[in-house]
Amino acid sequence: MGSISDQTVGGLISTGSHGTGIAYGISSSEVTALDLVTADGRVLSCSETQNREVFRAAACSLGVLGIISTVTIKVEPAFNLEAVQTPVKLDDILGNLDKFVNSAEHFRFWWFPYTDDAVTWGANRTDKKLAPAQESWLRDKFLGHHLLETLLYASSFVPSLLPSLNQGFFNLLFATKTTTVDTSYKVFNFDCLFKQYVSEWAIPM
């Protein structure tokens, strides 16, 4: 599961959407069969054993093969996750990428550009008691959303603001280690806050 769960299943599959975890594939890799309504109105059943090439292509097809009308997905019983977020120096992460990537079932890290600071996030299945993230209007809404959005907007006119802006927000909001335990989707998903332009790259590890 990625950072939102508002998508349709058809959209999720067709864009190759993904979450994180070294032992996990993209969301499409959990699909075992699907039906496509093709341009000539036929229904094409696809799986590893039936129309295999189309099935493989449909895993990231942006709708060009037809409309996905039914999907069979592998599932597992609902689970909780314990997530630990830790401030770490970027050089430490890059120098020990194997160790970090394998340190949790689900791992990701964020770098704060123009600084040497980063945050690691690792989540594992747990039976521990729920300990959801504590919400704070001042931290989450005022500082972490509205003020940040305003200052980022200002930095699009004055780019030289960005280094100190990123360092300031790292120090203010991400410099301490936090641990939460919650239902899986609440841990995987996070508020993407405001409108943003995103470019996604894949780099060999």
Nearest CB to ligand FAD, comparing residues 202 and 205: 202
> Which of 31, 68, 81, 181: binder of ligand FAD (CB under 6 A)?
68
Told to check if 7 binds ligand FAD by CB under 6 A, we report yes
Told to check if 67 binds ligand FAD by CB under 6 A, we report yes
Q: How far is the CB of 67 from ligand FAD (least distance, A)?
A: 4
Told to check if 184 binds ligand FAD by CB under 6 A, we report no
Nearest CB to ligand FAD, comparing residues 13 and 181: 13
Length of the chain: 205
Burial annotation 27-65 (CB, 10 A radius, 16+ → b, else e): bbeebeebbbeeeeeeebebeeeebeebbeebbebeeeb
> Which of 40, 42, 62, 195: binder of ligand FAD (CB under 6 A)?
62
> Which of 39, 132, 192, 194: binder of ligand FAD (CB under 6 A)?
192
Which parts of this chain interact with ligand FAD (CB under 6 A)? 2-4, 7-8, 10-12, 14-15, 17-18, 62-63, 67-68, 192
